[in-house]
Amino acid sequence: MSNIFFNKFKNVFFILLLLQLSCQVSSEKKQKTETDNFRFMELGIAELQQGFKDGTYTIKEVVEAYLKRIEEIDRSGPTLNSIIQINPDAIKNAEQLDLEMAQGNIRGPLHGIPILLKDNIDTHDKMATTSGSRALLNSYPLRDSHVAKQLKEGGAIIIGKANLSEWANFRGELSSSGWSGVGGQTKNPYILDRNPCGSSSGSAVAVAANLSMLAIGTETNGSIVCPSNNNGIVGIKPTVGLVSRSGVIPISYTQDTPGPMARTVLDAAICLGVLTGIDPADEKTLASKGKFYKDYTQFLREDGLKGKRIGFYQTPLGKNYKVDTLMSKAVAFMKLQGAEIIDINEISSADVGGYSFQVMLYEYKDGLNKYFRSLGPNAAIKSLEELIAFNRNDSIELKFYNQKYLEMAQEKGDLNDEAYQEALANMLKGSREEGIDRIMNLHHLDAIIAPTGSPAWKTDLINGDSFQLGSSSPAARAGYPNITVPMGFVDELPVGISFFGSAWSEPVLLEIAYAYEQGTKHRKAPKFLGPE
């Protein structure tokens, strides 16, 4: 009897095991289908628009496909949390653009292209602009930001708002990049428990995961290039003043800039041309007169490295030998393509970082208070002081980290303070004429290169971020351009290389970055791997 019972039990056990394995395989197959079998996977702007032109698909079909993928991957499946809100008028807007195209009316270079905006960029529509803060959950700006206006005029469809490090990662100590009170923690699509970096976390993740063709991020110091590094995409941090900041929730008037994030240099260059131009509401853009272009694709050449003199910034080296190895290979490739590489040990000897921090605190208070006033008399938050009070009384906002930087900014005086004026002058002098400009002129350089960052660290909401290395500060503090491009992988995690230089040098930086990208082709779509 015992043998009969055992055999029956064994048969039942194997049947249950087979059923479990079948369900597991079915679930894995379903997730693989959702993440891999996407009709528009890794397509670029030109390919998508050719499909519109030859009637292979409509703009409405493309937008519907991206929205479906967002539902399957961002809201469920790997649950990336890269997008805070979807534009409820996205389909209606797509239908309008289809109609215009049928009538022979092409708005611009981005006609029919899906794009996400970081949720600190104003749109005057049915979407709030929150900066990730619960204090602004129901904040609806009175007008479009200049960036949103330019994109719409260029034909882009804003399909939603991307999650971000709350208040662009300048709120308090021990923050985790990609976390906001509104959107929660954004995940890295390459390995899900790894960090996406910030503050333009959702913008980078969405582009990397093919949830959007393009995204707009913003940077004060590293917030475009670092998430681009961690998520294997191209990011352009333009010269401050090349792209308007009006309608963008600010940190620093001197350092802030929006910029495009894409899977290729070509797509990022197309988007950049749509964003440029003078905006009377942002005085910094007046300096771009005669220096901006509406078409940056004219500078993209596969032999763009030939004859270039490039400085190799050494300071980020020695912190991660795996990144150093990839950088050595990148330098060797550039030399083979005809570039001359000059080692640069130091860009500035001044305490530029200390001055920059003081400038940011002063300008943060001034900028936030002006932004809150722009929301009108019915705004839920009317001042930095009210924001601080809201956070203290909220059950979620201060759960993981504090608001020390907001409180420090509140204690500062106005922009007439001698301490602010002195810090600003010293920062600009140390980062520009005694920094990048001096190095570029001394060595007759076309650009400077450095590793953008390290492979993504594990997300840790208790201890915060674990930055290992970076190279964004010299260009960020000077207000000069910086472009990051995929440089390779450390195991399954991407790493980028940065190209930066003097003011308004986007054309030559794009030329060099494009030549490097086309000669190496390091971009690979993420696999949504589980925790290691």
Q: Which of 177, 199, 203, 454 is catalytic?
A: 199
Residue where the block lists tokens 């330098």: 331
Decide: 172 and 403 in contact? Cβ < 8 Å. yes
Is 223 catalytic? The answer is yes
Known active-site residue 370: no
Calculate the CA dihedral of residues 478, 467, 261, 339 and round it to 10 degrees. Answer: 70
Q: Report the candidate in 65, 128, 61 with the shortest Cα–Cα distance to residue 95.
A: 61
- Which residue from 244, 309, 259 is spatially nearest to 508, judged by alpha carbons? 309
**Alpha-carbon torsion 90, 92, 98, 99, what sign?**
negative
Cα–Cα distance, 296 to 255 (Å, whole number): 23
What is each CA distance from 503 to 183, 220, 238, 241, 431, in whole angstroms? Answer: 35, 16, 9, 10, 12
The Cα 387–Cα 430 span in angstroms is 33
Annotation says 404 is catalytic? no
- Encoded tokens for 390: 């809201």
- Within 8 A by CB and 6+ apart from 217, the residues are 118, 162, 199, 200, 203, 204, 223, 224, 227, 228, 235, 258, 259, 260, 261
Residues facing residue 344 across a β-bridge? 313
Residue 260: phi and psi, rounded to 5, are -80, 150
DSSP codes of every residue in 392-422: HH-TTTTSSS--HHHHHHHTS--TT-HHHHH
Closest to 182 in 3D by CA, of 170, 193, 167, 195: 167
Residue 451, both tokens:
């590793």
Exposed, middle or buried: residue 192 (CB in 10 Å: 0-12, 13-18, 19+)? middle
Rg of the chain in Å (alpha carbons): 24
Catalytic residue among 60, 118, 161, 365: 118
Beta bridge partners of 483: 236, 499
Catalytic residue among 180, 223, 473, 498: 223
What residues act catalytically?
Answer: 118, 199, 223
